[in-house]
């Protein structure tokens, strides 16, 4: 399993950077298969992280999935950000979703992210709600809650939300759809300054915003995650050096919580959502 996803495919490519948590990867791939339309291109990109059990999980999943899946593995690790930058560069101008390997996407997640990106040519990044999504967290901002037990029901509630696509201070690393042309114009990821995807994504988001692009919440989509993304040693210092006002901006956003009404609206919709419709389309 060494082939790569062609950057010329139609629609977004889903990139899953393979991590070391075998159980989380297994759950992620199962949810991805169930919640994503057949034929969607998926690239499992392994920076020499997977052990024998994870490799067996990936091999078994690729053999049975209805998604158009590929797997690549480096012989030696080059680091999280450098590896992901190589992967994104190989995708050219294609739009790419980077999905954390411990994430659990809800039904319809990709179609709604794609629709959000298409709704405004100025949107460079679209991030779904998440139980561990920092500024995009639901039901409480900046808090880590357990992954909801009924993602199908939550996905149906989110689908009825008005697609307002409000601004976020930066994209969040549980799942983010990146506009390929915007990412390339911003210069890609800075692997020389940051070791974690968490920090490199913040930096990329701020550079995109400086070029006039938007980083938004896709308020109709949801992706769960076991844990919140974390910076590596030195990343926050590097962010502070390049973006001195970042920490104050994020703190102000978390305190003001401009999405409070949207969070309450999603909670109310979830409380009142009815049973699923017969023959419903899970991927819409």
- Tell me: pLDDT of 11 over 80: no
Query: Quick one: average pLDDT of 184-196?
Result: 97
What is the reported pLDDT for 10? 60
- What's the alpha-carbon Rg for the chain, to the nearest Å? 18
Q: 200: helix, coil or strand?
A: helix
pLDDT at 278 over 70: no
Q: Please report the pLDDT score of residue 280 as a whole number.
A: 56
Q: What is the pLDDT of residues 213-248, one digit of tens each?
A: 999 999 999 999 999 999 999 999 999 999 999 999
Domain locations along the chain = 13-272
Sign of CA dihedral 34, 40, 46, 47: negative
Tell me if 200 sits within 8 A of 90, measured CB to CB.
no
Cα gap 31→1, rounded to integer Å: 21
User: pLDDT tens for residues 27-76?
Assistant: 999 999 999 999 999 999 999 999 999 999 999 999 999 999 999 999 99
Q: Is the pLDDT of residue 2 over 60?
A: no
Q: Which CATH superfamily is domain 13-272 in?
A: Spore Coat Polysaccharide Biosynthesis Protein SpsA; Chain A (3.90.550.10)
- pLDDT for residue 281: 60
């Amino acid at each position: 399993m060494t082939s790569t996803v062609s950057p010329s495919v139609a629609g977004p490519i889903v990139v899953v950077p393979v991590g070391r948590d075998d159980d989380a990867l297994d759950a992620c791939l199962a949810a991805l298969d169930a919640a994503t339309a057949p034929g969607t291109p998926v690239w499992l990109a392994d920076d020499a992280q997977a052990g024998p059990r994870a490799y067996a999980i990936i091999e078994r999943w690729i053999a049975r999935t209805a998604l158009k899946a590929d797997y690549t593995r480096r012989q030696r690790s080059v680091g999280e950000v450098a590896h992901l930058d190589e992967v994104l560069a190989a995708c050219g101008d294609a739009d790419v979703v980077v999905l954390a390997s411990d994430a659990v996407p809800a039904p319809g997640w990709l179609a709604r992210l794609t629709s959000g990106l298409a709704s405004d040519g100025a949107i460079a990044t679209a991030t779904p709600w998440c139980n561990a999504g920092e500024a995009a967290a639901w039901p409480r901002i900046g808090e880590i809650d357990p992954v909801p037990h009924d993602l199908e029901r939550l996905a149906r509630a989110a689908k009825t939300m008005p697609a307002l696509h409000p601004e976020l201070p930066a994209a969040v690393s549980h799942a983010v759809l990146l506009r390929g042309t915007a990412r390339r114009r911003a210069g890609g990821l800075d692997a020389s300054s940051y070791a974690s995807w968490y920090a490199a994504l913040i930096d990329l988001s701020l550079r995109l915003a400086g070029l006039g692009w938007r980083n938004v919440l896709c308020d109709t989509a949801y992706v769960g995650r076991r844990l919140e993304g974390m910076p590596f040693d030195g990343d926050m210092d590097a962010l502070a050096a390049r973006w001195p006002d970042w920490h104050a901006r994020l703190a102000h956003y978390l305190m003001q919580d401009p999405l409070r009404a949207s969070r309450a609206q999603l909670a109310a919709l979830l409380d009142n959502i009815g049973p699923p419709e017969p023959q419903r389309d899970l991927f819409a």
